[in-house]
Structure 1
Amino acid sequence: MRTVAVVSAGLSNPSTTRLLADRLAEATDRALRLGGEQVEVVHVELRDLAHALTDHLLTGFPSGPLAEAIAGVARADALIAVTPVFSASYSGLFKTFFDVVEPGTLEGKPVLLAATAGTARHSLVVDVAMRPLFAYLRADVVATGVFAATDDFGGADAITPRVDRAARELADKVVGRLPVAAVADPFAEPVPFEELLRG
């Protein structure tokens, strides 16, 4: 069983960001199943975690649904990360989520990047803003990023070829990797204090 985590930072409900995230998830699911893989898709809607993210920044600890979302991303074999564009970059909510993910969580993990905006003039945001962030996080980002402007959601379906190509690239990276082992909880088996004193 392969798990794909889909992180969407759209603020409205419904949002074009979530619509694009869903299309990418469906295309990736199809591509993996064509390769004989069983797939589970886990959705993380950051809009619902905004308060918990602020609490985490203040306390240093994730609570309830945020802890589950972070664990889901850590356990996933691949990640689809989609953000709306604000001020020519990813949204603050999107960045905050990846700020609180533990260092090393995304190291080597296949990632597909995508963004939405009102006009095509923001189309370079995937390569100019998002790709450097995920390079810093040491993720294995697929070559094709997907950008969708408002016009891409009406009339002619211009983004389907990009969606399908990016999904195939992500599926190829997932199939080429061993499944992610269960993430070990570093506090599950603590060393007794007496043993620490002896050692």
Structure 2
Amino acid sequence: MRLVAVSAGLSTPSSTRLLADRLAESARGELAAHDQDVDTEVIELRELAVAVANHLVTGFPSPQLGSAIDAVTGAHGLIAVTPVFTASYSGLFKSFFDLIDPDALTGKPVLVAATGGTARHSLVLEHALRPLFAHLRATVVPTAVYAASEDWGSGGDEYTEGLPARIRRAGGELAALMAVRAVTPEPGDDDITTLERQLSDLRFD
């Protein structure tokens, strides 16, 4: 199986890239524990920023951008991580997914995540990222992950799961849905809810 993570972080090093790596490791580990071989690729959108802009105005992707789009559309599972800009996903993140064929992500398992300086922006997961991929008819896993600056190295408390626990749970949900999709025929529009039901029934012990 192929797992692709898209990171829209702009800095180096990037907490957005770090979160993408951690989520990919979690999902890959869950699948490997159940004898599933997974090839993982991380796409750094900052390296494609000029190519994305050129594609938007010319309609033609560069070879590197074309390869990234093919990787996303051909993946068995997708992780999409963006920094929060002006209370939403970044413009680069949105521009990249604007280039994806509207039908290419239908039924594809997607884990959404975001990073920001403060926990106040965590609702970006529900008011921006989840609706975006629902519009693209992807199957978004139940647990989305937001990492504020203070979350790194935090173990949480009796009321709130720490970041490592949320990463493990989200990675496990993505792995479970990828495993279901690997043995299920490609879905039509009417089959997406069936896949979601299978995810709710499937648990990795």
TM over 0.5: yes
Measure how far apart 1:153 and its partner are: 1.6
Tell me, in whole angstroms, the C-alpha distance in 2 between the residues paired with 1:66 and 1:143.
29
Determine helix, strand or coil for the equivalent of 1:113.
Answer: strand
Does 1:72 pair with 2:39? no
Aligned to 2:36: 37
Aligned-pair CA distance for 1:178: 2.9
- 2:137 match: secondary structure: coil
Letter matched to residue 54 of structure 1: A
Cα contact 1:75–1:180 (8 A) shared by 2? no
Structure 2: how far apart are the matches of 1:91 and 1:114?
12
Q: Percent identity?
A: 55
Q: Which residue does 2:139 correspond to in 1? A: 140
Provide the residue aligned with 2:129 in structure 1: 130
Task: Say whether the 8 Å CA contact 1:77–1:180 is kept in structure 2.
Answer: no
Amino acid at match of 1:34: A
> Could you tell which deviates more after superposition, 124-133 or 155-164?
155-164
Partner of residue 8, structure 1: 7
Checking the alignment, whether the CA contact within 8 Å between 1:5 and 1:73 is kept in structure 2 is yes
Residue matched to 2:20: 21
SS of 2:147 mapped into structure 1? strand
CA drift of 1:150 comes to: 0.6
Q: Scaled by the length of structure 2, what TM-score is found?
A: 0.85
- Please say if residues 3 and 78 of structure 1, whose CA atoms lie closer than 8 Å, have aligned partners that are also in contact: yes
Q: 1:36 offset after TM fit, Å?
A: 1.1
| 1:74 aligned partner, one-letter code | T
Distance in 2 (CA, whole Å) between partners of 1:106 and 1:179 is 18
Q: Residues of 1 paired with 2:82 and 2:183: CA distance?
A: 26
Query: Cα deviation per residue 1:2-51 (whole Å; 9 max; x = unaligned)?
Result: 10010000000111000100000100110111121001001110000000
Letter in 2 for 1:108: G
**Runs of 5+ unmatched residues, structure 2:** 157-161, 186-205
For residues 184 and 86 of structure 2, what CA distance do their matches in structure 1 show?
A: 35
Residues in 2 aligned to 1:169 and 1:73: alpha-carbon distance in whole angstroms = 19
Q: Distance in 2 between matches of 1:161 and 1:174?
A: 20
Question: Using the alignment, how far apart are the partners of 1:137 and 1:5 within structure 2?
Answer: 17
- The one of 163, 184, 188 aligned to 2:167: 163
Instruction: Find the counterpart in structure 1 of residue 192 from structure 2.
Output: none
Q: Which amino acid aligns with 2:176?
A: D
1:175 aligns with 2:175: no
Unaligned runs of 5+ in 1: 182-199
The DSSP-based 3-state class of the residue aligned with 1:133 is: helix
Secondary structure in structure 1 of the residue aligned to 2:181: coil
Indicate the SS of the match to 1:176.
helix
Larger Rg: 1
After superposition, the CA RMSD in angstroms is 1.5
Say which SS state the counterpart of residue 85 (structure 1) adopts.
strand
